[in-house]
Amino acid sequence: MGANLILVANDEVASDPLQQKLMKATAESSGAEIRFFSLEKTIQIIGRAADRQKIFIVVKTPKDVKVLVDGGVPIDEINVGNMHFAPGKKELTKKVYVDQSDKDDLHYLKTKGINVYIQDVPGDHKTEINF
């Protein structure tokens, strides 16, 4: 996707060296640098990113994206993926399961003018999310 920085915005991962080590190993193959910030730190520093940085932000939940957007993080599009099955969640695709809270947050993000879709890998068809 041309990103030169992967930013994992998650309060739990920001303070967990083991999860960071596992994600760093995966990121190395992409050629991009990787950073781990809490949601609040992401909100505080994203505006200081250099123009040359193309940042790919990874979050755990739609609620996390909502927190970032409400905090002023400029997000134009959201590729929803790897939201696994859990009790109370309904299948959107084979890799995306959502509950009512997820639906509400994704709908909210769409009302902010953000393009919300599911795309397993670059080049695949984008499936727009509509609720």
Domain extents for the chain? Answer: 1-58, 60-122
d(CA 53, CA 17): 25
The band of 121, judged by pLDDT with boundaries at 50, 70 and 90, is: confident
The answer, as to whether pTM is greater than 0.85, is yes
Q: What pLDDT score was predicted for residue 97?
A: 96
Same fold, 1-58 and 60-122: yes
Helices (H), 6-126: 11-14, 17-28, 39-45, 62-70, 100-111
Tell me the backbone φ, ψ of residue 96, rounded to 5 degrees. -135, 120
Tokens of 59: 């979050």
Give residue 1's pLDDT.
66
More reliable by pLDDT, 110 or 31: 110
Question: 1-58 adopts what CATH topology?
Answer: Fructose Permease (3.40.35)
> Both ends of the chain: CA-CA distance in Å?
27
CATH code of domain 60-122: 3.40.35.10
Residue type, 50: A
